[in-house]
Amino acid sequence: MRKIFLLLLVILTVSGCGSSQDKQQSIKVGTLTQLNTTPEQAAKYSGGGEMNFYDNFNSMQMALSAGNINAIQTYGSVAKYMAANNPDYQINENQTVPLVDNFCCAMREDDVDLKNSFNAAIDAMKADGTLDALIDRYVTKFDESPIAVEIVHIDGAETIEVGVTGDLPMLDFVLADGTPAGFNTAVLAEISKRIGKNIDLVQIESAARAAALTSGQVDVVFWIVVPADDLNRPKDFDKPEGVAVTEPYYQDVVVNVNLSSLGSGF
């Protein structure tokens, strides 16, 4: 009798694990389009499920509301903003893979002086506490509405064109009146002062960042790089040829957001 009981316990355990894995694989997850990689490659490092790429944040939200996807994969700070501004959203507490990404700026590989000046400014901002203060104000103690940021004009100085997408609210965001806001813009404003160059912000599609950069439409775009981790993600798997990136200025964890009607454990 005891042997029969143990056999039944094993069968139930195995079948339970299988159904859990099947559920995970059937989940459809939306994320912003990653360049130089495919949804299938991205899914390998995100804990399973079907990965779907979207060219902008709004289309991804619409897909979630319509039931075309089950969750949005984004950054913790963005997820916090989404949940605070819309009761229909909540952060999934059952993360399967703890992914962390670094935020940096990208420019053309031959713009060595520009990259070096950005790196020097970022390093100085880390050393004197300015970067921590910006993170505290614009991310940690965020308001439900991202703060508009003024980038002071420097008379007679060279102008750098920087592409913004507005697809990472609180980080990369554009207000309804077209005014850039949020943490990334605040970082740019500080870099502008330190390198003595004007910053002109140009709104572009997230999926067009590399094209805008390499074509010369803009000189700088915000970028994400993969830090060293235990998941063996290729460091530059999302970086196109001919593009160079600065030192990272911020790090955030990757989380999933789903509709609150599904429950946080979905």
Burial category of 32 from C-beta neighbours within 10 Å (exposed 0-12, middle 13-18, buried 19 and up): buried
Q: 93 and 120 in one domain? A: no
Q: Report the CATH number at residue 238.
A: 3.40.190
pLDDT of residue 240: 76
pLDDT of residue 89: 94
Domain count, the chain: 2
Q: 127 and 248 in one domain? A: yes
How far apart (Å, rounded) are the C-alpha atoms in residues 144 and 149? Answer: 15
Q: 68 and 26 in one domain? A: yes
pLDDT of residue 192: 98
pLDDT of residue 19: 43
Q: 87 and 160 in one domain? A: no
Range of the domain at 14: 2-98+257-262
Q: 104 and 74 in one domain? A: no
Q: 93 and 136 in one domain? A: no
Burial category of 145 from C-beta neighbours within 10 Å (exposed 0-12, middle 13-18, buried 19 and up): middle
Q: 230 and 193 in one domain? A: yes
Q: 225 and 184 in one domain? A: yes
| Encoded amino acid at 181, one letter | A
pLDDT of residue 5: 34
Q: 108 and 231 in one domain? A: yes
pLDDT of residue 12: 38
pLDDT of residue 21: 47
Q: 104 and 13 in one domain? A: no
Name the DSSP class of 172. Answer: B
Residue from 218, 217, 227, 199 nearest 121 by CA? 199
Ranges of residues in the chain with a pLDDT under 70 are 1-25, 46-48, 95-97, 143-144, 227-238, 262-266
pLDDT of residue 236: 59
Instruction: Tell me the whole-structure pTM to 2 decimals.
Output: 0.82
pLDDT of residue 178: 79
Residue 132 structure tokens? 């921590």
Length of the chain (residues): 266
Q: 104 and 91 in one domain? A: no
pLDDT of residue 39: 84
pLDDT tens string 63-107:
999 999 999 999 999 999 999 989 999 998 776 567 888 999 999
pLDDT of residue 229: 57
